[in-house]
Amino acid sequence: MCGVVGVAGVKNAASLMHLMLFALQHRGQEGAKIVTLDKDKKQFVYGGLGLVDDIFNEKNIGALAGSYGAGHNRYSTTGDNDINNLHPLCARKGHGKNMERICVAHNGTLTSEITGLRMSETDTEQILGNFRDVNDSLPIHRRIFQALKNVEGAFALIFLFQDVKGKNHLIALRDPHGIRPLCIGRYKDGYLVASESCAFDIIEGAEFWRFVKPGEMVIFSDDKDKPFSFQPKAWRDFKRSFCSFEEVYLSYPSSRTETADGSIAFFSEVHESLGQELACENPDVTGDVVVAVPNSAIYHARGFSKKKKIPSEPGIIRSHYIPRTFIDPDNKNGNIVVKLLKKFRFIYAILFGKSLILVDDSIVRGNTMRRLIILMKNFVKKIVSITCMIASPPTKFPCFLGVDTPTKGELAINKFKDSEGVRNHIQVDTLRYLSLKGMLRAICRVTRFKENDFCAACFSGNYPVKIDREDFLEELSK
């Protein structure tokens, strides 16, 4: 669930990408990197481990010259949190006057077996390696297709390419299933590309243009005024498989979600729809107050509250200075209890003496929810009951398409056998999940796509692509 950004034809490309990466910080918090190209056949690179504003400053951003660039927020699904694994990955082909530069930033994960020598642990290096066998006389978009035609998995990619003549190109593309999101914005006389539209909202004067279609490449070149769109014939008949977990949790509420008819809709609307569906599926559930697990479930709780006509109150306040616990899956950054105490504040006056309906978007391992419940009970000594409502189905299978979920056996619903086991683990009085059918119905109500247009593999086990990698097959067996 990394965040990728790109800029084509704007002088202050690096400073714009810094802002966009900051807006996409929720998609990856392990590290960030920016690469730019200027018109003098030069490349500029800067990146590091940590959060965006800890890495970049006015001085190092100012040193990244050029009007073309690509950037990346890393959330590791393949490879450790190591500076050598930061994207964009860069390579050179040829020598002297015949040298070309190729850089790529990747959101997603490749499911085909990774082969050959590599300098990093990231699966994306396989894509760069494939350029060795590509016909250099082809146009860049056809060369990219040649490098990708045998690659399986989820990939929203931004390529940065400088040809032998020194011309710069930015290529935005999505895999033919469209699993991971990618969209385009306009800014002044140039273009912006990002994983989510919230990246454009932070730039004054920028505006959303459109989504990159599944299986489409959009090519921006410094010798052309308008972008060129190319969709390989081999990619035109693939079944759409948009990630349903993007709709449930991953994408920011203020970002636009893709719609079948091109109408404007936002992830906040999808979240509300999920909450409403959850309320409809559970007519017997009642309580004094609806409380969201902030910030990811605020709109889910809003939808549930509206449908049930039970007041929603901010009983838990979240600090904005602590990263998402979901993307620190192995508690790499310290004791999770300490982190939760830093992250959440409980509003005693709202929680005391109440029957609470606690709404969250999902349960993966169940560890964060369990500790949150225990901390809340310890702080507020008298809570009548806690009903936990989850606005998605039980997560039963690992995601191999861009989200670093645990092995199958580590997922809460499998580890604790059933929903009753999970309820006991997280220590609530009642636990209800949204059904798979209800989740898809709620998403489609807003997006107007069909239910089979979405990947729900983490809930159903029906992966839209072939899983060949030995390490992934091993995860399914554990």
Q: pLDDT digits over 130-168, tens only?
A: 998 899 889 999 999 999 988 999 999 999 999 999 999
User: In this structure, is residue 251 part of a structural domain?
Assistant: no
What span, in angstroms and rounded, lies between the C-alpha atoms of 263 and 19?
A: 27
Catalytic-residue membership of 2: yes
What span, in angstroms and rounded, lies between the C-alpha atoms of 321 and 318?
A: 9
User: In this structure, is residue 452 part of a structural domain?
Assistant: yes
Relative to beta strand 385-390, strand 355-360 is parallel
Residue 39 is predicted with a pLDDT of 85
Element (H, E) at 265: none
Lowest mean per-residue pLDDT among 167-171, 390-394, 401-405: 401-405
Q: Do 76 and 215 fall within a single domain?
A: yes
Residue 322 has pLDDT above 80, yes or no: no
Residue 80 is predicted with a pLDDT of 60
Average pLDDT along the chain: 92
CB 270 within 8 A of CB 448: no
User: In this structure, is residue 410 part of a structural domain?
Assistant: yes
Q: Do 12 and 83 fall within a single domain?
A: yes
Residue 321 is predicted with a pLDDT of 64
Q: Do 136 and 284 fall within a single domain?
A: no
Any idea what the CATH number is for the domain that residue 185 is in?
3.60.20.10
Residue 356 is predicted with a pLDDT of 98
User: In this structure, is residue 62 part of a structural domain?
Assistant: yes
CB 365 within 8 A of CB 298: no
CB 440 within 8 A of CB 243: no
CB atoms within 10 A of CB 404: 17
Mean pLDDT of 331-353: 78
Phi, psi torsion values for 46, nearest 5 degrees: -155, 140
- Residue 432 in tokens: 């209800």
Element (H, E) at 186: strand 183-187
Q: Do 75 and 158 fall within a single domain?
A: yes
Any idea what the CATH number is for the domain that residue 354 is in?
3.40.50.2020
CB 244 within 8 A of CB 439: yes
What span, in angstroms and rounded, lies between the C-alpha atoms of 266 and 446?
A: 9
What span, in angstroms and rounded, lies between the C-alpha atoms of 214 and 174?
A: 5
Q: Do 42 and 119 fall within a single domain?
A: yes
> Helices 367-379 & 419-426, crossing angle to 10 degrees?
40
What span, in angstroms and rounded, lies between the C-alpha atoms of 7 and 12?
A: 9
Residue 26 has pLDDT above 90, yes or no: yes
Q: Do 221 and 287 fall within a single domain?
A: no
Amino acid at 89: L
CB atoms within 10 A of CB 79: 17
CA 246-256-160 angle, 5° bins: 80
Mean pLDDT of 168-195: 97
Mean pLDDT of 258-281: 98
Can you point out the beta strands (E) in 38-138? 43-49, 68-74, 89-93, 100-110
CB 22 within 8 A of CB 174: no
Percentage of residues in the chain having pLDDT higher than 70: 94
Q: Do 200 and 274 fall within a single domain?
A: no
What Cα–Cα distance (Å) separates residue 127 from each residue in 27, 112, 371? 22, 11, 41
Number of domains observed in the structure of the chain = 2
Q: Do 18 and 157 fall within a single domain?
A: yes
pLDDT in tens, 395-453: 999 999 988 888 899 999 999 999 999 999 999 999 999 999 999 999 999 999 999 99
Residue 109 has pLDDT above 90, yes or no: yes
Mean pLDDT of 92-117: 86
CA proximity to 276, closest of 142, 130, 391, 393 = 391
User: In this structure, is residue 250 part of a structural domain?
Assistant: no
What span, in angstroms and rounded, lies between the C-alpha atoms of 242 and 440?
A: 11
Q: Do 207 and 63 fall within a single domain?
A: yes
Can you point out the beta strands (E) in 270-337? 289-292, 316-318
Instruction: Give 327's pLDDT tier (boundaries 50, 70, 90).
Output: very low
Mean pLDDT of 166-187: 97
Q: Do 40 and 112 fall within a single domain?
A: yes
Burial class (CB in 10 A: 0-12, 13-18, 19+), 286: exposed
Residue 329 has pLDDT above 50, yes or no: no
**Side-chain half-sphere of 236: how many Cα atoms within 13 Å?**
5
Element (H, E) at 168: strand 168-174
Percentage of residues in the chain having pLDDT higher than 90: 77
Instruction: Give 469's pLDDT tier (boundaries 50, 70, 90).
Output: confident
Q: Do 439 and 300 fall within a single domain?
A: yes
Can you point out the beta strands (E) in 188-321? 190-194, 207-211, 217-221, 228-230, 242-243, 289-292, 316-318
Residue 234 is predicted with a pLDDT of 92
Domain ranges, residue 225: 3-238
Residue 451 is predicted with a pLDDT of 97
- What is the CA 225 to chain-centroid distance, rounded? 31
Instruction: Give 349's pLDDT tier (boundaries 50, 70, 90).
Output: very high
Residue 325 is predicted with a pLDDT of 56
Contacts of 471 (CB under 8 A, 6+ apart): none
Residue 297 is predicted with a pLDDT of 97
Residue 326 is predicted with a pLDDT of 53
What Cα–Cα distance (Å) separates residue 117 from each residue in 28, 75, 120, 122, 384? 27, 23, 9, 12, 60
Residue 274 has pLDDT above 90, yes or no: yes
User: In this structure, is residue 372 part of a structural domain?
Assistant: yes
Mean pLDDT of 217-231: 94
CA 362-368-369 angle, 5° bins: 60
CB atoms within 10 A of CB 95: 7
What span, in angstroms and rounded, lies between the C-alpha atoms of 289 and 382?
A: 15
Residue 330 is predicted with a pLDDT of 47
Q: Do 100 and 13 fall within a single domain?
A: yes
User: In this structure, is residue 258 part of a structural domain?
Assistant: no
Which parts of 4-115 fold into alpha helices (H)? 13-23, 52-55, 58-62
Domain termination site, one of 196, 220, 238: 238
Residue 470 has pLDDT above 90, yes or no: no
Task: Tell which wins on pLDDT, 337 or 450.
Answer: 450
User: In this structure, is residue 255 part of a structural domain?
Assistant: no
**Side-chain half-sphere of 331: how many Cα atoms within 13 Å?**
10
